[in-house]
Amino acid sequence: MKIERQLAQMGITLTAPAAPMANFVPTVRTGNLLFVAGHLPRMIDGSVLHRGKVGREVTVQEGYAAARQAAVNCLGSIKDAVGDLDKVSRVVKLLVMVNADLEFDQHFLVANGASDLLVELYGDQGRHARSAVGMGGLPRGSCVEVEMVVEVAE
């Protein structure tokens, strides 16, 4: 449980995955790949961190923090699916969706909130392919949504 100890030392608490409000599941495993559905930056109390559009109501720094929290929530779903975050042998891919003002062009800086956390936790195995894209809106007015694909050990 090395990764969970690191999270605790960082003051980060994993939350239990929220029940989906639509017709999907939080994770799907096929072979050694675990596909993690998009997660919002939901806090322990259920509120969404930083609602609004990045570049308008939300700063890049707030978007970064929200992307980091959304990645934490993805880790909570991974733990729920495989039992131990140390079973992640590789972070393969991230998709970071940024609810952004039309003129905003720094999606990659917001996405670094998720990427930096994963590299901090997993080192080189946390380095991943990534897409950071702008959206006209996201569920619950969230400024970001993060989904990921990880490889897990048997």
| pLDDT of amino acid 15 | 83
| pLDDT of amino acid 21 | 79
Instruction: Give, as one character, the DSSP assignment of residue 123.
Output: G
CATH 3.40.50.1360 given to domain 33-152: no
| pLDDT of amino acid 18 | 77
Q: Report CA dihedral (126, 128, 134, 136) to the nearest 10 degrees.
A: -70
| pLDDT of amino acid 129 | 98
Q: What is the 3-state secondary structure (H, E, C) of 129-148?
A: EEEEEEECCCHHHECEEEEE
Ranges of the chain whose pLDDT falls below 70: none
Residue 79, helix vs strand vs coil: helix
Say how far apart CA 21 and CA 133 lie, in whole Å: 23
Say how far apart CA 32 and CA 89 lie, in whole Å: 9
